[in-house]
Amino acid sequence: MTTRRQILQSAIAPMIVPSVVLGRRAGAVAPSDKIVFGGIGIGSRGSHDLSKILKFKDQARFVAICDVRNERRETIKSTVDQTYGDHGCQMYDDQFALLARPDIDAVLIATGDRWHTPLSIIAAQHGKDVYCEKPCSMTMEESWALADAFRRYNRIYQAGCQRRNGANFEFCKNLLNTGALGKLQTLYANVGPSVDWPPIPSRDWLAEEALPPKQVLDWDRWLGPAPWRPYHSSYVRGGWRNFYDFHGGGILEWGSHTVDLCQWAAGYDDTQPVEYEPVGTNVGPYQVHCRYADGVRLVMRDNGWNGALKTGSCSFRIEGDLGWVETGDASIIEASDSIKPLIRPTEEARMALDNHMLDLMHAIRIRQQPKASAAAAANSHVVCHAAFIAYQRGKTLSWDPARREFTNDEIANRMRSRAMREPWRV
C-alpha cells in the first residue's frame, strides 16, 4: 500500500513543484512571446476565426495548416503567407504531423462537427491548447470526455461560443446578475429556423458519386469518426449539415450558441435542466420546454433567423419577475418598459469574436480557463443533446444531472453515445 508520505517523497518533493504544474505554460515560452497556432480543417467559418489570429499579429503567429482537402490547404497557406509577407505556413494532410510540432502552442479546430471532440482530445494529449468551433460534440458522451480531457491535461480550451465575450450579451447578463430583472423566471434560446435546420436531421444517404483522388480529397479522413457512407460531393461542400451522422440539427447548430448563453447568463455552467418537453413538428416552428430543478424555465424556440423582436441571429432573452431583456447579433437590446431606462449602448456584437480570441490568448498566457472553457461548453452541449434526444423520442424526458441519465426512458439513455468509426475513439 502506498502512503501519502511516500507519494509526496517520490513524486513532488524531488521536483519542488515546477511552475508549469502551478499554472504556467508547458512550452517554457516567456509570457511576452507570441502564441504559435496551427489550424486543422479551416473552411469558411474557420477562416473567420483565423482572420482574428492574423489580426492580432503582436500576440500570435499562425504557422501550419492541416486539411484533408488540397485546395483548402493551399488557400489557407496563401492567406497566411500574404499576411506575414513570407512563406512560413506549412501544409499537412495528417493532423498527427502538425500536432507533433513542439513549437505549436495551440490549434484552431474548425472541421465539421464529427471531428471536434476527438481532435480536441488528441490535441490536449499532445500538450496543445485549443480553440474549437461549435458544436463541440456529437453526443453527451463526447461532451463529458472533452471536459475530462482538458481537466486531466490542464490544457486551455475555448469553444467557439464567442457571444460570451459580446458586450450586448454581457450587458443583459449583468442586468440579471445585479438584480435589475428580479428573480429569474424564464430563459429563451433561439435555436434557429427549422426551414434550414430542422430539429431532427435525416438518417438517409445521398447517391454514390465517383471518389476523387486521395491527394485531392481524403474521404476516409474526411469521414473520420463518422460511420462509413458512400461519397457525395455535396457533403464536402457543406451539405453534411442536416444528416444525422454528421449534424445535431437546429438544436445543436444554434443552441450551442444560445442555450450556452442562457446557461452562462443564469450561472448554470455546472448544471442542466431536469425536464425536456418537445413541442411542434420537424417541418415547422418548434420548441423544447425545459425546467431546471429550481423551477426556472428554459425555452428553446425557432423564431426564424432574426428572432421575433428582430434583435438579430443567435438571440436570447431573460425574463425575471421585474422585467425582461433580449438581444442578438444585431446589437439591439430590447427590454420591458421597467428595464428600458437602464439600457445603454454597448460595443457592437460583431466584436465578440475579436474579444473571444483575445480572451483565449490571455488565458493561454495566464493559464486560466477562458469564458467558454471545455467544462462550460460540455455542460451547455449536454443540455442541447438532452433536448435533441427528447425531440427524437417525441416525449417529455426527465434528466438527472448528477447521475447523467434520463430517469424515464431507457432508449433515450442509449442515445447518449454513438460508436465511432475505427480507429477513432475518445
Partner 1 sequence: MQNTTQPAPAAKPAPPPKPVPPPEFREGDIATMDVASLIAIVKDPGATDFHKAKACQRLGEHGSKEAVLALAPLLANERLNTYARHGLETVEDPSADDALLAAMAKLHGDRKIGVINSLGKRRAEKAVPALARLIYGGDLNSACAAASALGHIGRLAAAKELQAALGKSRGAVRTAVADGSLVCAERLLADGKREQALAIYTQLAVPSSPKPVRLAAMQSIIREETSLERPR
Which run of H or E residues covers position 263?
helix 249-265
According to the binding rule CB under 8 A, does residue 282 interact with partner 1? no
Question: Which residue in the set 40, 107, 108, 124 belongs to the binding site for partner 1 (CB under 8 A)?
Answer: 124
Question: Which residue in the set 69, 72, 116, 126 belongs to the binding site for partner 1 (CB under 8 A)?
Answer: 126
Question: Which residue in the set 13, 21, 216, 283 belongs to the binding site for partner 1 (CB under 8 A)?
Answer: 21
Residue span binding partner 1 (CB under 8 A) among the ranges 42-50, 121-129, 327-335, 345-353:
121-129
Instruction: Judge whether 29 and 129 are in contact, CB under 8 Å.
Output: no
Environment class of 124 (CB within 10 Å of its CB; exposed 0-12, middle 13-18, buried 19+): buried
CB nearer to partner 1: give 121 or 299. Answer: 121
According to the binding rule CB under 8 A, does residue 368 interact with partner 1? no
Question: Which residue in the set 51, 70, 91, 148 belongs to the binding site for partner 1 (CB under 8 A)?
Answer: 148
Output the smallest distance, CB 4 to partner 1, in A. 6
CB nearer to partner 1: give 74 or 220. Answer: 220
Distance CA 18, CA 136 (A): 32
As given in the structure block, the three cell numbers for residue 405 are 441519465
According to the binding rule CB under 8 A, does residue 283 interact with partner 1? no
Instruction: Judge whether 123 and 369 are in contact, CB under 8 Å.
Output: no
CA distance to 135, 153, 160, 321, 410, per residue, from 132 (Å): 9, 17, 6, 36, 32
What region does 312 belong to: left with phi over 0, alpha with psi -120 to 50, or beta? Answer: left
- Phi then psi for residue 238, to 5 deg, are 105, -5
Output the smallest distance, CB 138 to partner 1, in A. 12
Interface of this chain with partner 1, residues 184 to 203, rule: CB under 8 A: 202-203
Output the smallest distance, CB 413 to partner 1, in A. 8
Which run of H or E residues covers position 255?
helix 249-265
**List of residues contacting partner 1 (CB under 8 A):** 1-2, 4, 6-8, 10-12, 15, 17-18, 20-21, 26, 124-127, 148, 152-154, 202-207, 227-229, 232, 234, 239, 410-411, 414-415, 417-425
